[in-house]
């Protein structure tokens, strides 16, 4: 069952800049596109100590800063090697200017 947790205020999530947050002990990155916010796992599946939010964001694609695997931050899909696994995707709800993530 989904449990909702406040992750951030909406005004702290800037378009074009990943926002790393920790929700229930999980490293998650928030990505804003206009009124939409997407939440995906922030650790690269290739080496789980590397934060993707430190990488390069181009539109919906984040590039890992270590070995340049790319991921779609809306779907979590891995786009190229060496990473092989998709990112976990979390539900997002925006209420009264706050961003809630479902885990
Ligand atoms: S640590 Fe991300 S691609 Fe290797």
Taking residue 15's Cβ as centre, other Cβ atoms within 10 Å add up to 11
SS3 at position 98: strand
- Residues having CB closer than 6 A to ligand 1 are 44, 46-47, 50, 64, 66-67, 69, 82-83
How remote is the CA of residue 94 from the centroid of ligand 1, in Å? Answer: 31
Q: Where are the beta strands (DSSP E) in the chain?
A: 4-9, 19-23, 26-33, 36-41, 56-58, 61-63, 70-72, 89-95, 98-102
* Residue 62: pLDDT over 90: yes
Mean pLDDT over 70-98 rounds to: 98
CA distance 98 to 80: 33
Domain boundaries, the chain: 4-102
Q: Span 35-49, mean pLDDT?
A: 97
Pairing of strands 19-23, 4-9: unpaired
The pLDDT of residue 1: 87
pLDDT of residue 60: 98
CATH no. of 4-102: 2.102.10.10
């Amino acid at each position: 069952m989904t449990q909702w947790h406040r992750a951030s205020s909406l005004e702290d999530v800037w378009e074009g800049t990943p926002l790393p947050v920790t929700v229930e002990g999980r490293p998650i990155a928030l990505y804003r596109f206009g009124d939409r916010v997407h939440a995906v796992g922030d650790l690269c599946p290739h080496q789980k100590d590397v934060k993707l939010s430190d990488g390069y964001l181009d539109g919906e694609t984040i590039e890992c800063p270590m070995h340049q695997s790319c991921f779609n931050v809306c779907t979590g899909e891995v786009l190229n090697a060496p990473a092989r696994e998709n990112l976990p995707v979390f539900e997002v709800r925006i209420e009264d200017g706050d961003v809630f993530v479902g885990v």
